A and B are shown apart, each in its own frame.
Chain A
Amino acid sequence: MSPSRFPVITAVANVLAHAPGLVRYGSKPLRDLAKNPGLGAGLAARLRGYEAAVAYAPNQVYIGNRDPETLRALPRPWFAAPDPGASSDGAFGDFIDEAELLGLLKLCDRARLVQVDADTLAAAGERLARRGLVTPAEMSGVAPGTRDAIRKLVESREAIPLWLDGRVAGAIARGHEDDEALTANVLLENLAAKATGVLALRRLLRQVEARLGPDDIEFVIAGSEEAVGDRYQRGGGNLAKAIAEAAGVGRATGFDVKSFCASTLYGVFNAAALIQAGVFSRVVVVAGGSLAKLGMKYRAHVVKEMPILEDVLAGIAVLIERGTDADPCIRLDTLGMHTIATGSSQQAVVEALVMGPLARAGCRLRGVDRYATEMHNPEVTEPAGSGDVPAGNYRLIAALGALRGEIAREEIQEFITAHGLPGYAPTQGHIASAVCYLAHALRAMRAGKMKRALFMAKGSLFLGRMTEAADGVSFMVEA
């Protein structure tokens, strides 16, 4: 077997955590409930149970129990047709319930700010151990909070409650009496990202345990979007190292990359570049879920009398190694960059992120089997008037192909079906933005069903008010 020209992707974990009790702390519900607490009952009535969330076909796609293309054959709405073959044990990762999530939050809390009651911790420990994600010894070392202590903490207003099945099962306290970067809500957001990142990294390590141990990982890059820090360095980071520590990856260090939804894809090519440069030989890219985006479109879902579908936190971990031709490589010679000079017209963005890599690879539009863009689930976005995001991206790519004469105008729809994908990802930007398809592409390439996939992500830099520019990055993965 000859050495591969570029670093390779050897394993990917895609995990989900059901979080209906945390939806009230998503940015949109939190702001609305502060203005009108009466909205709480309507919101609670539209939250779905764990079994329904597991059986939701797009979630089964995310954790690898279905291929994305199979969604096309399913009648809409997808939430009305539970997947009969659904399982919380996905080919790519676990879909944990909310008790397990609260247990993980407690396990990952090094600042002793989280209290979780004994019943919840016992259930979490037993279920997470059964999945091979924690050891019984780890969980037995975590002390439960008494219900009385949790109640007093919440009543003191120094903590916010953690809900489970309609009851208070725990609490998280603020980290400082007057630091706006360390309020209970901010810390919950950061800890949720950490815990789901840990979940993904632990699952990744389980997938490769026959070949590698945690000490074999040399570096970790985190692509989460949370601003971890205190009043003097809000957003200072470094969640990568915190996740690595909690996953037992003791010989690694790491850092965070930030570029809104493009962060995780930036992480992947930077990991590959560090390996290509000879700095490391084995790097993990990890990202936890975005609590702020829970219930982002809840108002539309309540009005349309459908379940609130943004009730899951997603996580992802990708192992990149110096490899051989046996695994798909990251074509570092095909990087697509949205430079400042690119400008922000959609045509220019697609030129930079799609046509650029194709030109560098000497490849035509149809030479790429699948294009992974922002794979947001349209069933979440369409009721709120935000449209079908991946479909819009595919139309742009195809239209540009038609403009360049690579596709006949009447072939546009056929091209989109053959080379595009239906959206299936939770609206967790930095995970929905292309990286969520890495696991599927790896599986298809290993099975000999795919030769090339192009991954592209966009970052909405302008949201931070420091520029009017957007951002984007892309690269090709090749078997």
Chain B
Amino acid sequence: MKLNGRRVLVIGERDGVNAPAIEACVKSAGAEVLYAETLCFV
């Protein structure tokens, strides 16, 4: 997937995929990460 030129808001989940992991993926695809936060739902 190419995300060059895309700006991304990252919402991760503690028990799923967390924000730093998503951030690393989308950055490697060329995106600019504007915001990243991991949430915990319990």
Contact = CB atoms under 8 A, between A and B. Distances in A.
Interface of A: 261, 344-346, 374, 376, 381, 384, 386-387, 389, 392-393, 427, 429, 432, 458, 460, 462-463, 468, 470
B21 A393 contact: no
A346 B17 CA distance: 7
Contacts, number: 43
Contact of B19 (A261, A389, A393, A468): A468
Looking at chain B's contact residues, is the secondary structure mostly helix, strand, loop, or mixed? loop
Contact of A389 (B18, B37, B38, B42): B42
A344 B42 contact: no
Contacts of B17: 346
B7 interface: no
Contact of B38 (A346, A384, A462): A462
Interface of B: 14-21, 37-38, 40-42
Contacts of B21: 344-345
Given A381-B41, A384-B41, A432-B42, 19 more contacts: A344-B18, A344-B20, A346-B16, A346-B17, A374-B42, A376-B42, A387-B15, A392-B16, A427-B42, A429-B42, A462-B18, A462-B19, A463-B40, A468-B19, A468-B20, A468-B38, A470-B14, A470-B18, A470-B38
A381 B41 CA distance: 8
A345 B17 CA distance: 7
Contacts of A386: 41-42
Given A374-B42, A386-B41, A389-B42, A460 B19 contact: no
A193 to B, nearest CB: 18
23 contacts: A344-B18, A344-B20, A344-B21, A345-B18, A345-B21, A346-B15, A346-B16, A374-B15, A386-B41, A386-B42, A387-B15, A389-B15, A389-B42, A392-B15, A429-B42, A460-B14, A460-B38, A462-B14, A468-B19, A468-B20, A468-B38, A470-B14, A470-B38
A307 B15 CA distance: 26
A458 B41 contact: no
A432 B15 CA distance: 15
Contacts of B38: 460, 462, 468, 470
B9 to A, nearest CB: 16
A468 B39 CA distance: 11
Contacts of B41: 381, 384, 386
B14 A458 contact: yes
A376 B16 CA distance: 16
Contact of A393 (B15, B20, B37, B40): B15
Interface centre among B14, B18, B19, B42 (most CB of A within 10 A): B42
B23 to A, nearest CB: 9
A460 B40 CA distance: 7
A381 B21 CA distance: 24
A470 B17 CA distance: 12
A468 B21 CA distance: 11
Nearest to B36: A468
A381 B42 CA distance: 8
Contacts of A376: 42
B7 to A, nearest CB: 20
A440 B20 CA distance: 36
Contacts of B20: 344, 468
A460 to B, nearest CB: 4
Contacts of A458: 14-15
A458 B14 CA distance: 9
A429 B41 CA distance: 10
Nearest to B23: A468
A432 to B, nearest CB: 7
